[in-house]
Amino acid sequence: QKAVKYLVSQEDIILKTQASYDLLVKIMNLTKSYPRDYKYSIGEKMQNHMLDLIVDVYKANSSIDKTKNIKSIQEHIQFIGLFLRISMDINIISDLKYSEFVEELYSVDKQASAWLKSLSDNQSCAVSQNVEAVPV
């Protein structure tokens, strides 16, 4: 029964990370074609932030206090967006390619924000259930 629970848990993690993982693969492929001057600065930083984002998703899934990791995910999203913008501004990627990546990045950010909101909603429900009425 533990094995089944573990497999279900792994499937849940895969579903939560699918958009992030797809974006990681696309960014890895995108940065392969970066000019040498930018491949090891902007390109590598973007790859590292995407890898760290994926790790934070897995950590958040397995930790009790998920908030710290989800906020870290959102921070990585901001940096990746910045590096994509710089890539567009210095004509490494087109406006269209930038828009496509930002749209996918926004989707990952929405998932992280919803996850964070669900945690705060659950905490506020737990707090309100533990509050006892004080006689007046």
Any idea what DSSP says for residue 23? H
Spatial distance between the Cα atoms of 94 and 24, rounded to a whole number of angstroms: 19
> Which residue, 3, 7, 4, 27, is CA-closest to 15?
7
Half-sphere exposure of 32 (CA within 13 A, CB side): 7
- Tokens 């890539």: give the residue: 87
- The alpha-helical segments, DSSP class H, found in the chain are 2-32, 36-38, 44-62, 67-89, 95-130
Angle of helix 67-89 relative to helix 95-130, nearest 10 degrees, comes to: 160
Contact yes or no for 27/119 (Cβ under 8 A): no
**Residue 92 near residue 57, CB atoms below 8 Å:** no
| pLDDT value, residue 120 | 79
Tens-digit pLDDT string for the chain (136 aa): 555 444 445 555 555 678 899 999 999 999 999 999 999 999 999 999 999 999 999 898 888 888 999 999 999 999 999 999 999 999 999 999 999 999 999 999 998 898 888 887 766 544 444 444 444 3
pLDDT at residue 134 in the model: 41
